[in-house]
Amino acid sequence: MIEFNGILTGNAKKYYMKRNIKFWRKFTLLGALIVPVPLAIFSIVKHISILFYISCMVAFLCYFAPCVIKFVKGAMPEKICIDGETISCDIGGQLESIFLEDIKEIHDYGDFYSFMFTNGQYTPHFVCQKDLLAKGTIEDFETLFEGKIIKVN
């Protein structure tokens, strides 16, 4: 069993926050288009300018809503466990698990690892800071994922 326990700091935290915001921006972009675009078209056709301004405001708010994630308590991964066939991440009491066979590659940024998954799965939560390793060793980790680890500058 390999376990990373604690709150991310430094470069790992910056990377996680950027990755998390990108993830939620993609997710909310759909919401930013579903409501405002038809509302804007309707307002132009009917010459109702207030609806156009409202639609622009809704699009703006939907697009920048993910930035609020920075201020949400418990949004950071607290514990990542690699045990048997799964890797699981505890984020503020919520547990997310993925099979080890679904790991496509692991990016090694020097002081932390970031996981990329196959089958279109995307989650920003699997970021492991090396100095938060509580159980196991870096050698155990690198042996377990041999051939999947890619060094990144």
- Structural domain spans, the chain: 2-8+73-151, 24-71
Contacts of 19 (CB under 8 A, 6+ apart): 114, 124, 127
Contacts of 118 (CB under 8 A, 6+ apart): 102, 103, 104
Return the SS3 of 146: coil
Residuewise pLDDT in 10s, the chain (153 residues): 999 999 888 888 888 888 777 777 666 666 666 766 777 777 777 777 776 777 677 777 766 665 555 555 446 788 999 998 999 998 877 888 899 999 999 999 999 999 988 876 667 788 999 999 999 999 999 999 999 999 987
Query: Which pLDDT value is given to residue 151?
Result: 93
Query: Which pLDDT value is given to residue 77?
Result: 84
Per-residue tokens: 109: 């940024």
Query: Which pLDDT value is given to residue 73?
Result: 45
SS3 content of the chain, % helix, strand, coil (to 5): 45, 30, 25
Query: Which pLDDT value is given to residue 145?
Result: 92
Spell out where 42-119 has E strands.
77-83, 86-91, 94-99, 103-108, 112-117
Is the pTM higher than 0.85? The answer reads: no
